[in-house]
Chain A
């Protein structure tokens, strides 16, 4: 059976940073990514990232992948990249099963595993929500920013979180008209600078509105929205109809971590972290020994924090298998303070109270 020191499942920002710090600690690392290239969500983000310099703020997401891959190159002798391969199983005895190109199936036995599988998109139920032309925001971004294909001509964006706002902006950059952004919440959920950016391009934002139905025979032709009250109940006779050929659903992400459930990690639903997440210790180890996690897969946050969590998980996983980084303490301290700093604002406080609910402490006898 194939072996390695540390297998990293998922090559997004969290996985790449975990690989950098594990390899720099001296561990042999295998990064397994189901897509044909590394980068995860970064590869669709053409906008400048917020955050601080240490997490490449003001750099465009698409360029951060390159920066991280250059860093990984330094450890070429120790890092193996396995693209186009889905990890389909993770077992308590740390064996993982891999499916390469949907055809070749094999097993691997690493000493430690870091699950950094990111997130999946939530969807919305309304009548005719399966009409062609109704996409998740991730699909719109993949079409537009990976393949250079416009998803349509006129878009109704559903969701005024950061993703909805940013994807609206990117659609306008691609020359696609966004007729409106709606959100059931009474307030805009995304950063207000991103909201102001699309407002001044003339895109209206309707808060307290949701989708009533989609209309179309073989594809989307019209979208009907209506207002909701304080309890998110629709108010009759408040309908507005838009002529659109695309509806982009951007109503949030949930942590993608079935592999952890499968391995038997204890999980808990934590709303501040946007779904089921594994209990974990401060070293990012789950309740199953030598299985670690980092990034969106253990709580939806940002690439900035996903990267720092990745660095930490990589250091700790390497340490666990006896490859302690020469400046382990200093690095752990530095990354921990970066995370605390990122989380010291209003949003971050929610994340911290979420983490509080799942962080286990060890009793050192």
Chain B
């Protein structure tokens, strides 16, 4: 499927997500990398040794959720923009979802933006909780959004477009 549509199935997505107990403890990385390609910046950028690829650079990354602090550096280093950070520790109703964002203009904290799924379909409006960019991120910004828990496996992107 993914090879034809470019969209991972919900089953694939659920498998990559950490268990809900881990999500509810604090921020943690979700890596949507399903294909063996020669690439390893996620593993080499992690200061905590939480992402492992090993000697063969084509291996898929595995994450040690015990070691991941949710620091977000891998999110900005993944050339596939395949990593997001999810944090369920802040609220019973929402998760804080951080995604890489390389479009202009950037949203501002407090804005309501359109939440999209992995096919770019509109889900709901969500609130921007924060926008981070610094030199180390090298023009890959991190936008954190307040996403209702029931949308957590569907949400993956945002659009700032105003639809009349």
Interface positions of A (Cβ within 8 A of B): 47-53, 57-60, 172-173, 175, 186-188, 191-203, 205, 207, 302, 304, 341-348
From residue A209, how far is it (CB to closest CB) to chain B in Å? 12
CB-defined contacts of A304 to chain B, threshold 8 Å: 38
> Quick check: A347 and B38 within 8 Å, CB to CB?
yes
- Which of the residues A48, A346, A348 comes within 8 Å of B79, measured between beta carbons? A48
Q: In the complex, A302 Cα to B32 Cα: how many Å?
A: 23
CB-defined contacts of A52 to chain B, threshold 8 Å: 38-41, 44, 57
Q: A191-B35, A196-B2 are in contact. List 18 more A-B contacts (CB 8 A).
A: A50-B39, A51-B39, A52-B38, A52-B57, A53-B41, A57-B79, A58-B77, A173-B104, A192-B34, A199-B119, A200-B118, A200-B119, A200-B157, A201-B116, A201-B159, A202-B116, A302-B38, A345-B36
Whether B33 is near chain A, meaning CB under 8 Å from some CB there, is yes
Whether B47 is near chain A, meaning CB under 8 Å from some CB there, is no
Q: Which 6 pairs, one residue from A and one from B, show the smallest C-beta to C-beta distance?
A: A193-B80, A202-B120, A345-B58, A195-B6, A58-B41, A50-B39
Question: 9 pairs across A/B with beta carbons < 8 Å?
Answer: A58-B41, A191-B35, A192-B35, A196-B82, A199-B7, A199-B118, A202-B120, A345-B56, A345-B57
Q: In the complex, A59 Cα to B57 Cα: how many Å?
A: 17
CB-defined contacts of A186 to chain B, threshold 8 Å: 4
Q: In the complex, A59 Cα to B131 Cα: how many Å?
A: 21
CB-defined contacts of B159 to chain A, threshold 8 Å: 201-202
Give B6's nearest chain A residue, CB to CB.
Answer: A195
CB-defined contacts of A47 to chain B, threshold 8 Å: 79
CB-defined contacts of B2 to chain A, threshold 8 Å: 192, 196
> Quick check: A198 and B6 within 8 Å, CB to CB?
yes
From residue A162, how far is it (CB to closest CB) to chain B in Å? 10
> Quick check: A188 and B118 within 8 Å, CB to CB?
no
> Quick check: B58 and A344 within 8 Å, CB to CB?
yes
Sort chain B's interface into a size bin: 35 or more
Task: Indicate whether A344 sits within 8 Å of B56 (C-beta atoms), given known contacts A57-B79, A187-B4, A188-B4.
Answer: yes
> Quick check: B117 and A200 within 8 Å, CB to CB?
yes
Task: Indicate whether A53 sits within 8 Å of B44 (C-beta atoms), given known contacts A201-B120, A342-B57.
Answer: yes
Give A194's nearest chain B residue, CB to CB.
Answer: B80
Q: In the complex, A8 Cα to B127 Cα: how many Å?
A: 54
From residue A51, how far is it (CB to closest CB) to chain B in Å? 6
Task: Indicate whether A60 sits within 8 Å of B139 (C-beta atoms), given known contacts A345-B58, A346-B36.
Answer: yes
Whether B156 is near chain A, meaning CB under 8 Å from some CB there, is yes
CB-defined contacts of B79 to chain A, threshold 8 Å: 47-50, 57-58, 193
CB-defined contacts of A202 to chain B, threshold 8 Å: 116, 119-121, 159
Whether B103 is near chain A, meaning CB under 8 Å from some CB there, is yes
- Which of the residues A53, A205, A345 comes within 8 Å of B5, measured between beta carbons? A205
> Quick check: B36 and A172 within 8 Å, CB to CB?
no
Q: Which of B15-45 contact A (CB under 8 A)?
A: 32-41, 44-45
CB-defined contacts of B41 to chain A, threshold 8 Å: 48, 50, 52-53, 57-58
Give A50's nearest chain B residue, CB to CB.
Answer: B39
CB-defined contacts of B156 to chain A, threshold 8 Å: 200
From residue A104, how far is it (CB to closest CB) to chain B in Å? 40
From residue A53, how far is it (CB to closest CB) to chain B in Å? 5
> Quick check: B82 and A193 within 8 Å, CB to CB?
yes
Q: In the complex, A315 Cα to B121 Cα: how many Å?
A: 52
From residue B33, how far is it (CB to closest CB) to chain A in Å? 7
From residue A49, how far is it (CB to closest CB) to chain B in Å? 6
From residue B139, how far is it (CB to closest CB) to chain A in Å? 7
Whether B81 is near chain A, meaning CB under 8 Å from some CB there, is yes
CB-defined contacts of B138 to chain A, threshold 8 Å: 48, 58-60
From residue B29, how far is it (CB to closest CB) to chain A in Å? 15
From residue B76, how far is it (CB to closest CB) to chain A in Å? 8
> Quick check: A191 and B118 within 8 Å, CB to CB?
no
Give B79's nearest chain A residue, CB to CB.
Answer: A48
> Quick check: B104 and A196 within 8 Å, CB to CB?
no
**Binary interface encoding of chain B residues 68-86 relative to chain A, with 1 for a CB under 8 A from any of its CBs, else 0:** 0000000001111110000
Most buried by A among B45, B78, B80, B117: B80
Q: In the complex, A50 Cα to B32 Cα: how many Å?
A: 15
- Which of the residues A192, A203, A344 comes within 8 Å of B57, measured between beta carbons? A344
